[in-house]
Amino acid sequence: MLDRIGYYCWAGPGTIRMIKVKYFNPRIDEKSLLSSYEYDYLARVRDLFGITDFWATYSWGFSDKTEQEDRQFLIERVENFKRLGIRLHAYIQGPNLVYDEFPDKAEWWARDERSRLITYYKGRWMCSIHNPDYVNYVVKKIEDTHGLGFDGIFVDNIQHGQLGVPAPAGQLPFVFCGDYSAAAQAAFRAETGHTIPDDFERDPALTLAYLEFRMRANTQYIATLADAAHRGGMVFGSNFYDPKFDPKYIYAIDMAAKPNLQDYVLFENHALPRADGKVSNLYVERIIDRYQYQKPVFVVSYRNGVGMAPQFSQEDIDNLFSEAATSNFRVSLKGSEFTTNGVWHNLDVSQYRKPRLDVQLERRENNRPVDLVPVLLRFPLFRWYLKKYFNPTTRAAFEWSSLRFLVNVVYNTTIK
């Protein structure tokens, strides 16, 4: 469907600062990131791609004092979007914060079953959505946008505590996921009379009760944020992640209930379509049909992870738009987080012509994740390691995220 076309683009001083937090000594084309909300750039984006909806940076999770300039940067450019008739969705990072900016908020952080902090990329920790002070902080952040001219609020990366390890179909996860903080414990005990299980294999019935509680808590958090946005006359949305993995246990997302609270659905995935059909978003169409989504569905597709590829080729653009033209979802073009020769930059729209809508794309079932878990579960040592060291392992992976950037420098040396 091409009745609405999105543009997903992080920019401004806050994005520059966040890239520096996430990676070690990144090189950034700051001019590119500081010009993406200017009138001339937006006009070109609208005229070239037919953009109707634009997701733009408002808050990355720094303290109010630090990111005052980030918010003001976007506020001062709201009129540019208004003049062009583009709906503007203010981006707010999900339940994680830059921990150095909140030294007196120890009770805000989510914990794993050993009371360890949960890392979200380098420099950030996951927050507990059970802590009322933290939730009120986010609600107020949304309320502060009332009357500023935004059309919507988008909260990214909403997950409940520690991510879950994908489990084989029909089985419960065996590695702890979620939040073991005092606030989460109190909420679970009030509802069930039990303590959150620290070993998911000891009592399957209690584990299932906790996993259902975790998903309901996440849904309630989304409802609270959506209500704050709606009170200000704005639409609300959040990231549904890549649906090729069932997000029920990984992120605590209820794929059936969550859309009822939002005004649209947005999937962000690594399924940049190819003409030969080896990669496509056909599986997203199947999910839309399965759940009978009535809300608009946007899909943001890109080839590799954040900062891991140069900007799209014209062929990529043509494939994206041609796929959306015959699908039951709307395309949202990724406009930021590209790297070329190790330099971060946003989409250079001067490189493109209007997209073709008639590319014949092969359609076949694909994007099925390789399910290694059943194979690896045969090894007791693997199970023991994950149960004991999943948190430290993921923390190390995030803290050394610059290694991913190094791979990008080696393999992506030119803009295609």
Residue 383: predicted pLDDT:
84
What 3-state class would DSSP assign to 156?
Answer: coil
- Convert the pLDDT of each residue in 224-276 to its tens digit: 999 999 999 999 999 999 988 788 999 999 999 999 999 999 999 999 999 99
At residue 304, does pLDDT exceed 90? Answer: no
Mean per-residue pLDDT for 136-144? Answer: 98
Least confident piece of the model among 183-197, 301-315, 360-374 = 360-374
Given a contact cutoff of 8 angstroms between Cβ atoms, the answer to whether 309 and 408 are in contact is yes
- Convert the pLDDT of each residue in 61-112 to its tens digit: 999 999 999 999 999 999 999 999 999 999 999 999 999 999 999 999 999 9
Residue closest to 361 by CA, chosen among 271, 287, 292, 294: 271
> 368 falls in which pLDDT band (50, 70, 90)?
low
Least confident piece of the model among 154-168, 170-184, 278-292, 391-405 = 391-405
Position with higher pLDDT, 222 vs 363: 222
Residue 367: predicted pLDDT:
56
- End-to-end, the C-alpha distance of the chain in Å comes to 27
At residue 9, does pLDDT exceed 50? Answer: yes
From residue 69, give the alpha-carbon distance in Å to each of 20, 58, 61, 79, 216.
Answer: 16, 10, 13, 17, 35
Given a contact cutoff of 8 angstroms between Cβ atoms, the answer to whether 244 and 291 are in contact is no
Residue 15: predicted pLDDT:
98
Given a contact cutoff of 8 angstroms between Cβ atoms, the answer to whether 259 and 300 are in contact is no
CB-based contacts of 182, cutoff 8 Å, min separation 6: 107
Edge-to-edge strand order for the sheet containing 338-340? 27-28, 343-345, 338-340
Give the burial class of 350: count Cβ atoms within 10 A of its Cβ; 0-12 exposed, 13-18 middle, 19 or more buried. exposed
Q: How far is Cα 119 from Cα 395, in angstroms, rounded to an integer?
A: 5
Residue 408: predicted pLDDT:
43
Q: How far is Cα 280 from Cα 261, in angstroms, rounded to an integer?
A: 28
Given a contact cutoff of 8 angstroms between Cβ atoms, the answer to whether 18 and 307 are in contact is no
| CA dihedral sign of residues 66, 119, 112, 162 | positive
At residue 416, does pLDDT exceed 80? Answer: no
pTM for this entry: 0.93
Beta strands in 100-157 (DSSP E): 124-126, 152-155
Phi, psi of 297 (to 5 degrees): -115, 120
> 409 falls in which pLDDT band (50, 70, 90)?
very low
DSSP assignment, residue 151? S
Radius of gyration of the chain (CA): 21
Given a contact cutoff of 8 angstroms between Cβ atoms, the answer to whether 356 and 321 are in contact is yes
Q: How is the chain split into domains, by residue range? A: 6-411
Residue 412: predicted pLDDT:
37
Give me the residue label for tokens 């609300």: 236
CATH number 3.20.20.80 given to 6-411: yes
Residue 329: predicted pLDDT:
97
> 381 falls in which pLDDT band (50, 70, 90)?
confident
Position with higher pLDDT, 347 vs 399: 347
Phi, psi of 50 (to 5 degrees): 75, 30
Residue 370: predicted pLDDT:
54
At residue 399, does pLDDT exceed 50? Answer: yes
Residue 246: predicted pLDDT:
80
Residue 237: predicted pLDDT:
98
Output b/e per residue, 363-378; b: 16+ Cβ within 10 A. Answer: eeebbeeeeebeeeee
Residue 308: predicted pLDDT:
84
Output b/e per residue, 152-170; b: 16+ Cβ within 10 A. Answer: bbbbbbbbbbbbbbbbeee
Position with higher pLDDT, 414 vs 43: 43
Position with higher pLDDT, 345 vs 393: 345
Residue 245: predicted pLDDT:
79
Mean per-residue pLDDT for 155-171? Answer: 88
Question: Where do the H-state alpha helices sit in 238-379?
Answer: 247-250, 258-261, 282-291, 314-325, 373-376
Residue 151: predicted pLDDT:
98
Residue 402: predicted pLDDT:
46
